[in-house]
Amino acid sequence: MIISLEERIYALSLIWREAKYNFAYWDERPELDWDAAYRQALPRVMAANDAYAFFRELQRFVALLRDGHSYVVMPTDLKIPTSWAPFETSYIEGKHVLMEVPKDSGIPLYTEIVAVNGTPLEEYLQKYVYPYGWHEKTDSVFCYGKLGFEIATQEKGRVTIDTTMGCFSYDSDVRVETMEGNWFYALTVKDQDTARVIVMEDNLLDISITSDNIAIITPFTFCDERLKEVLYAYIAQCEDCVGFIIDIRYNNGGNSSNVHPLVQLFFEGAFPDPPCDVVQYIPHYGAYGQNYNDVEQLDLQDPHAKKIYDINKRKMFYREVDTTHVPDCPLYLSQPVVVVFDSETASAAEDFVCHMKHKNRATLVGSPSYGSNGQPYNGDLPGGGRYGICTMKCYMLDGTVYNNIGIQPDVYVENTIQNHIDKFDAVLDKGLSILREKIDERI
């Protein structure tokens, strides 16, 4: 793939422009001189020796925003050929561990990675990973197998992975047979052995009912508009259940309009949407700001001066507050609810958690969510790439900030390495235990 010099300059300039006027968090990035960052990135973008290096430079530029909803995505034909490795990784108990290993490598699953090609792992991350992507919340970034992906895209030729249980090597251009690991979705609890499956729609929705009549609803995504149709087609079979587990640990978001049909099942009438702030820019007030050597010196007690200051510092926001009602919702479910979530629960799935926290409608069990939300302003880049710039600050309904932090559970629990070895889902097990206590309290 050849991307011309003109296209490279245009791509960088496009991202610079859209972020300058649309990015939601400028008031929280006072140390970042975006114009200076553009000037520093420009020669690197122009000098990139191939399309891959060019897109890496764009990623490095956007990473300066330190935001999980601002990104550059490489074209598929650049990403796929370089993103294969004969192992998979995850981040558990603060360790980067192997979730799949090369067959006959002698390295057990869940072994910790300590170095790549002789470079200690933390040094490797600082040099090859952190500069190119959001990493403000480590468990969120690496739970998706990011470390394995980054090693595969960065390292060429003979690659050696050092672990606490020895090392293994592979050739980056030779396919190696791998063995399956015990992935998160393979974890079970005893109660699920006797659960009655109501619906199992691949990559969309699972609903099952335990032997003691608890419904476990697992929406895998909020990207698919079919979710409402499938959910409402089967939910009547759960009407008499004594309680509900909503498991959204697998769900990395989508569209909030697909969240609302699920939320509506547990609220009577309209319910409030979590608030969000959208930055406002008024050009002539921006121009006024150029008349001062330092807007910091303005008298902020003067309303006109304060407006000039806020516009130039990107501190003026329009707050969006709304309510939602799904009138064709077939049921209202008043039974106790527990929502289980973790660092893979992202974006619109975090909206769902916010809704269910309203009036303590559900008990939240698990570990802090992904910690990033907000509508990206996105578009195309030369060669088939994409970019996105976060345009909204999202909050919980009580105004709590969770960007780069995550929504906090009421009861903290996460699956350990030993849980994975035992194929035991401690998070769901705890959720069921808490739900049963709540059910008993109602009897």
Query: CATH number of the domain that 109 lies in?
Result: 2.30.42.10
Asked whether residue 189 is assigned to any structural domain, the reply reads: yes
Helix (H, G, I), strand (E, B) or coil at 281: coil
Work out whether strand 411-412 and strand 88-92 pair parallel, antiparallel, or are unpaired: unpaired
Whether residues 354 and 423 fall in one domain = yes
Residue 210 and residue 160 share a domain? no
Do 264 and 359 sit in the same domain of this protein? yes
* CA nearest neighbour of 355 among 275, 232, 272: 272
Instruction: Assess if residue 179 is contained within a domain.
Output: no
Characterise 223 by phi-psi region: left (phi > 0), alpha (psi -120 to 50), beta (else).
alpha
User: Are 265 and 355 found together in one domain?
Assistant: yes
272 and 243 in contact (C-beta within 8 Å)?
Answer: no
Which amino acid would we find at residue 141? Answer: V
Domain membership flag for residue 400: no
Q: Locate 283 and state its tokens.
A: 């050009």
Report how far residue 127's alpha carbon sits from residue 62's, in angstroms, rounded to the nearest whole number: 16
CATH number at residue 38: 3.30.750.44
pLDDT in tens, the chain (443 residues): 889 999 999 999 999 999 999 999 999 999 999 999 999 999 999 999 999 999 999 999 999 999 999 999 999 888 766 668 889 999 999 999 999 998 888 899 999 999 999 999 999 999 999 999 999 999 999 987 899 989 998 898 999 999 999 999 999 888 776 666 655 556 788 777 778 999 999 899 999 999 999 999 999 999 999 999 999 999 999 999 999 999 999 899 999 999 999 999 999 999 999 999 999 999 999 898 887 778 888 989 999 999 999 999 999 999 989 999 999 999 999 999 999 999 999 999 999 999 999 999 999 999 999 999 999 999 999 999 999 999 999 999 999 999 999 999 999 999 999 999 998 999 999 999 999 999 999 87
271 and 297 part of one domain = no
One-letter amino acid of 195: A
Residue 290 maps to a domain: yes
Phi–psi pair at 216, nearest 5 degrees: -110, 110
- In this structure, are residues 108 and 421 in contact, taking their beta carbons and an 8 Å threshold? no
Co-location of 258 and 345 in the same domain: yes
Q: Looking at the domain assignment, is residue 425 inside a domain?
A: yes
Q: Which amino acid is at 317?
A: F
Residue 401 placed within a domain: no
Coil vs helix vs strand at 329: coil
Select from 137, 171, 205 the last residue of a domain.
Answer: 171
Pick the closest to residue 427 from 261, 81, 189 (CA basis). 189
Q: For residue 128, what are the domain limits?
A: 85-171
Query: Domain of 424: which CATH number?
Result: 3.90.226.10
Query: Does 367 lie in the same domain as 332?
Result: yes
Per-residue model confidence (pLDDT) at position 224: 96
Please tell me the total count of domains within the chain.
Answer: 4
Domain identity same for 121 and 269: no
Decide: 198 and 238 in contact? Cβ < 8 Å: yes
Q: In terms of domains, do 353 and 261 share one?
A: yes
Q: What is the pLDDT of residue 182?
A: 57
Is 176 within the bounds of a domain?
A: no
pTM of the model: 0.93
Residue 22 lies in a domain: yes
In terms of domains, do 6 and 90 share one? no
State whether 163 and 292 are in the same domain.
no
Asked if residue 347 and residue 251 are part of one domain, the reply reads: yes
